[in-house]
Structure 1
């Protein structure tokens, strides 16, 4: 069970200001305390995390207009959503029909979710990123349809990279042209250069110690094919790839703000939007969230996530629509999920602007304001991009092993090899 500490909540609700906690008034309006899914035959109840509600509302509105079926949203904060799901799906009755689930929850709740195999035709699977197809199937059965996805990509200050003074000075120092970095070495060099060139006005990059997914992406970039633990319980931490990933990750500390151990998504996004970072690896949706009054407004460039020996790799941040097996509206719920897939483009022009289908992202990648779609496509399609392991205890592994390891690794004098071995032992104790 998740423990709802403020630190954990800050790590998980990575969509910045969009994922605000629902107020009591909002919850009341959405029917958070409502009873069953069977009360009204013309209404579907959908359980959703606060930040994702906006993604689904246009779909729900059009679904109601075309079918006559109303969609009633129950909106909860991240930890509250997990606790509600856990209580009801593991109990004898549910108060909802459909739920939007974080990818890492699918393995924990699979036995209480309706199989969706009939929806995953070859045509459908061909329009979903390979990592998401893999993630949607738990023990060979599809239990969720991806409704939106995300991944970290590269953010950089165009005003700095295109400055003639920097374009002249960088080649003299590093022997190559100043371009948005694509490799670990290029990222290190650019972060080092801009840290020195900033003269205290800004940093080269950030290092996030209070999140795990950025290091997991680095792990895949290093060529590790097993993300921490495989489905048989074999733990990969301590490998040469894991050591290389952690060494690179912590090797950026000299060019980053202090206090890395406590830096989470919200803190890093704020630093970049305030003009304090020349480079940042961050979830793609943040491109559309730069405030108009920000010193970097109109100056933000984006590119695919960087790569190590294995090339570009990211961690998909997908959410899935799933049906509670206990719902009495199976056919209507299945119709809504199929409709959400068919009309995935309706989510694009929302505040987060995320989608899950390859064709939807491709159709908008050349539009003004959606420059982040092309690097997002490249990152999610990269061969080394892998989903997090489909094991029920994944969140426990994150909380008890990965986050503590990273937070210790970003402290002065850290022994990365020893920390990886300690984390390996901790993960082995979790998976048995």
Structure 2
């Protein structure tokens, strides 16, 4: 897998295997977009794996409107390259495209405004960070289809054990419960690091989790609203120092731990807590040692409050399509029937009401903390720059790997600032 796949897509969905799947279309896989607004079918370009969240919507849309939806699926890198090539040529083979949020700035001039869909009512039902991200240069250019964020997964059985509760109270002076602050997370991680178990994991091979701590510490992540590089400010250092401090209560080799490794550690009962994408709660194997023993809580609160980094994808309509009316009809269907994504393999949506519809049902205990995290005042999406993925791959991840291996935080952040400034020139 490429770094972009691991960092971007897997950050949002937590480890799907990527395969090249080309769905047959009325025009042939990847053929020219249907011409004429009266056509009854559209081509929707998605990443492999992304079809699942939209399959139910497509079926419902056909019932509601008679519109046939043909999916064309590509792996993450292939999708980005296909979009770049066709947008540059001015001729597209698709009518709707599912875009990773970090691509919106790159493709803003190639997709149509859909301002009419962002009514006051709609904006109230979409998480604030996603509404903000969907608007580029004064126009809304993508409707969020699904999103995610990290929450806390913890071993409920260990937390509720009478002896553990008594011992923890005696040692730390407060009750053992799901952590809500960095200090509590540190204490609990330290407490459970014993007898072959670790209190938590530290993911040195991904950047999103550290960025969440930056937001919690009260700063924008890496870039400010004017794209000035602020990675060396006090909040970034505070977050990095905290992140590195957790290696004392985590398995060795943190520099190589990514999402898949951390998920496996937790599911196998090797860690008492993990900060992980909310969808993973419902994907714990039934035969895993921790099955039926996991509790959920919102992401940690720092001085700025609860904050996470969402992983949204957006549905956008290219300017070059000749099937605009039907393309927008599908995007509208996807918004109206957004909750159907929760019945998919990933179980994700983007509307607040969609998650609320399920939050009190058994098996969906991750939804209340997910809603709380996504609604956090400091929750923010990744910086809106077309260079973001390059910044992640060449600067942020290598910096984190060096930090968790013992590098000096201040020096690493100062070096990262210079590297990012050079990339943005």
Instruction: Give the number of equivalent residue pairs.
Output: 420
Partner of residue 199, structure 2: 204
Whether the 8 Å CA contact 2:3–2:393 is kept in 1: the answer is no
- Identify the residue that residue 223 of structure 2 maps to in structure 1: 229
SS of the equivalent of 2:270 reads coil
Q: What is the rounded CA distance, in whole Å, between the counterparts of 2:140 and 2:190 in structure 1?
A: 45
1:84 lines up with 2:77 in the alignment: no
Q: How far apart are 1:16 and its partner, in Å?
A: 3.6
Alignment of 1:226-375 (within 5 A): 226-375=220-369
Indicate the residue corresponding to 1:22 in structure 2. 19
1:9 & 1:271 partners in 2: Cα distance? 21
Aligned 8 A contact 1:32 1:76 in 2: no
1:371-410 equivalences in 2 (<5 Å): 371-410=365-404
Is 1:425 paired with 2:418? yes
**Distance 1:269-1:12 versus aligned 2 partners, 3 A rule:** same
- For 1:64 and 1:209, locate their aligned partners in 2 and report how far apart those are by CA, in whole Å: 45
CA RMSD of aligned residues (A): 1.5
* 1:36 paired residue number: 32
> Residue deviations 1:275-316, cap 9 Å, x none?
111000011000110001100111111000011111210001
Separation in 1, partners of 2:297, 2:19: 33
Matched with 1:47 is 45
Is 1:104–2:102 an aligned residue pair?
A: yes
Q: 1:170 to 1:306 in 2, by over 3 A?
A: same
Q: Give the whole-Å Cα distance in 1 for the aligned partners of 2:228 and 2:291.
A: 46
- Structure 1: which 5+ residue stretches go unaligned? none
- When structure 1 is superposed on structure 2, of 284-293 and 392-401 the one drifting more is 392-401
Q: Does 1:143 align with 2:137?
A: no
Partner secondary structure for residue 90 of structure 1:
helix
Q: 2:147 touches 2:350 (CA, 8 Å); kept in 1?
A: yes
Alpha-carbon shift at residue 28 of structure 1 (Å): 5.5
Q: Distance in 2 between matches of 1:35 and 1:74?
A: 10
* Structure 2 unaligned spans of 5+: none
| TM-score, scaled relative to structure 1 | 0.94
Change (3 A) 1:390 1:11: closer
For the 8 Å contact 2:148–2:277, the answer to whether it is kept is: yes
Alignment-derived partner of residue 7 in structure 2: 11
Matches within 5 A, 1:72-221: 72-196=70-194, 199-200=195-196, 202-221=197-216
Partners of 1:130 and 1:32 lie apart in 2 by 39
- Supply the distance in 1 between the matched residues of 2:64 and 2:215 (Cα, whole angstroms): 43
Secondary structure at the residue paired with 1:11? helix
Q: Distance in 1 between matches of 2:96 and 2:224?
A: 29
Whether contact under 8 Å (1:10, 1:266) holds in the other structure is no
Q: Deviations over 1:50-99 (max 9, x none)?
A: 22211100000111122221101111121221111111112221111101
With normalisation by structure 2, the TM-score equals 0.96
| Secondary structure in 1 matching 2:93 | coil
Partners of 1:44 and 1:416 in 2: CA distance: 51
Q: What residue is the counterpart of 2:408 in the other structure?
A: 415
Query: CA contact under 8 A between 1:227 and 1:388: conserved in structure 2?
Result: yes
